[in-house]
Amino acid sequence: MISLYRGVVVESRNERLAAWMADTDMKVPDLTAAVNDAIGGFTGRPGTTSERTVFRWLSGENQWPQAKQRRALEIISSLSVTALGFEPRGNRKPTPAPSKDPSVHRRRFLTAVPGTALAGATAASSRPSRVGTADVIRLRDRMKQLIEIDAARGGHSALERAALAGAEEALRLQRNSTTQRVRQRLFGIAADYTATAAWSLIDARDLDTANAHLERALTYAGMAQDADMTMQVWNLRAMLARQREEYGEAVAAAQAAQATAITRRSPLHNSLAHARLAIGLAHSHEPKAALRSLGRAEDALSQVRGDQVPPVWIAFYGAAELYSITAIVRDHVGDPAQAEAASHRALSALPESYRRNRANATARLALAQLHQGEAEHACATSADAFAIMAEDPLPGRMRSLLGDFHRELITRAPARLADEWTDRYRTEWSTPA
């Protein structure tokens, strides 16, 4: 595995440590600070671990850290040092790597009682009074749990409450943070949690409260001087404006997302900003401009390197999501056949764990089929959307989409077919999450 140390590319022989650092978005300076913070937490005096030491761990030159460093690594990662790829001299037996399948943890998390699981995602644990990088990592890990719930079930009020609790904890901790760097990162995490709360409400169609959350998230992102979080907020503002049918504002918000510094250095962020702009332009009756933006989104996405680990919030975006956005744009500019093809590609590329996204793509597919005069086929396809979400109520955004399908079904299909669809799915479709 390849790592960076002070801008120099090095080969990491300790692949487990390098993989964990990549998964948690942890750079060498971050891990150095976290280890020293953790040592300070249990000894009363900050550690003296250097970046050079962390580099030697990655390169394999140092295969067994000092006792205090080993304890600190286990506190930070919640893994044993052997699971992180370290072994004492004379004991080089291979140890099983930690599971990389997120579904294992997700299944354990999601099968708990919903209220308990969501509360547990942000519950405070015993921790030293010093606040440092280890707290940042802990809060980031809990954010991943909320993202997994969102991908499986969609937005709902319990998820919003859990996200706001995470933001509140980050804001409380920043008041006691040990360095300006940690304080800014905690503001960034508060922005992330607050934006996640807003997204949950956008998905649930509670749009006024979502707007208030986004105002706060943008403030926290500014305090953090975090271009990534700023981009996330503008992306969500574009989505919120489209849900409100304020298409001029949706275009302006997408353009603001394009103007953030992160889009100049990250093709993934740049692609998402262009894709979001394409949707706004399509709804603003600017089909040529929408398709140009879509093409730019595709070009930018092709530049994303496969070994780059994206921030948690944007991990949803990739080929599958761009296909889904393409389906929306193509259908809206009057090309339902291309929209249907894009929906099929989205469904082929989406992971099974992204239940809400799969159901949305399925509903979009049904709409594209209906727009081509295939009413019976469209009704059969829409049934799959209900089946995918069978274990949970439909999020408000999906109910709104299926409402669009129902209204168009009434105008485009024989009355018998529309009545049968309504009778069969009325309860599931109309019940709030």
10-residue mean pLDDT series, the chain (433 residues)? 43 79 78 83 84 89 90 83 83 44 39 43 47 81 87 83 93 81 90 95 90 95 94 97 95 96 94 98 96 97 84 92 97 96 96 90 96 95 91 86 93 92 79 58
Query: For position 129, what pLDDT does the model report?
Result: 53
Query: For position 137, what pLDDT does the model report?
Result: 83
Query: For position 133, what pLDDT does the model report?
Result: 75
* Strand partners of residue 129: none
Query: For position 90, what pLDDT does the model report?
Result: 61
| pTM for the structure as a whole | 0.75
